[in-house]
C-alpha cells in the first residue's frame, strides 16, 4: 500500500469512527425506531462489549484454545474473582493482568 493510499485508509477510519459515534446523537429529530428494537437495544451494549472481549480470551489465531492451561483463562478467572470480591476496577485489572503474566512468563504456559 502506497503512503497516499494508507493516508486515505486512515482518514476513512477516522470518519467511520466519528460517524458511528455520533450516529444517533447528530440528527435534530428523533430517528424512528420500532418499539421492539428501542426496547431490545438496552441489551446491546453489554453484548457488544463481550463480543469484542470473548474472542480475545478463548481464541488463538481464530482457533479455540486447546488447553485449560492458558494464561488468559487464568487471568480472566482471577479478574472475575477479584471483581466479585472487591468490586473495584483497578485491582481487577491489575490482578487479572498479573495472573496472566505469572502464568505466561513465570510458569511458561
Partner 1 sequence: MIDRQARLAALARHPEFRRGAREMVGVALGIGAWGLVTGVAMIKSGIGLPMALTMSLLVFAGSAQLAAVPMIASGAPVWVVWATALCLNLRFVVFSAQWRPYLKHLPKAQRARMMFFAADLNFVLFMRRFPEPKPAPEQLPYFWGGVAVNACAWHLMSLLGITLGQRVPEAWGLGFAGTVALLTMVLAMLAERALWLPAMVAATAAVAAYALPLKLNVMVAIAAAVAVGSVQDHLRSAQAKATR
Give the residues lining the site for partner 1 (CB under 8 A): 1, 3, 5-14, 16-18, 20-26, 33, 36-37, 39-59, 62, 64, 71-72, 75-76, 79-80, 83, 88-90, 92-94, 96-97, 100-101, 104-105
SS3 25: coil
Alpha helices in the chain (DSSP H): 3-22, 35-40, 44-58, 71-86, 89-101
Distance of CA 6 to the CA centre of its chain: 25
Complex with partner 1: residue 17 or 69, whichever CB lies closer: 17
- Least gap, CB of 107 to partner 1 (angstroms): 14
Q: Which residue has the cell 494464561?
A: 71
Complex with partner 1: residue 20 or 67, whichever CB lies closer: 20
- Least gap, CB of 68 to partner 1 (angstroms): 16
Cβ atoms of 79 and 99 within 8 Å: the answer is yes
- Least gap, CB of 66 to partner 1 (angstroms): 14
Amino acid at each position: 500500500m502506497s503512503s497516499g493510499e494508507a493516508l486515505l485508509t486512515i482518514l476513512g477510519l477516522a470518519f467511520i469512527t466519528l460517524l458511528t459515534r455520533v450516529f444517533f446523537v447528530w440528527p435534530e429529530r428523533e430517528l424512528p425506531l420500532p418499539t421492539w428494537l428501542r426496547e431490545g437495544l438496552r441489551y446491546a451494549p453489554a453484548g457488544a462489549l463481550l463480543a469484542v472481549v470473548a474472542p480475545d480470551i478463548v481464541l488463538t489465531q481464530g482457533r479455540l484454545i486447546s488447553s485449560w492451561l492458558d494464561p488468559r483463562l487464568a487471568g480472566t478467572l482471577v479478574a472475575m474473582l477479584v471483581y466479585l470480591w472487591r468490586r473495584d476496577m483497578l485491582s481487577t485489572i491489575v490482578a487479572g493482568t498479573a495472573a496472566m503474566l505469572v502464568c505466561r512468563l513465570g510458569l511458561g504456559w
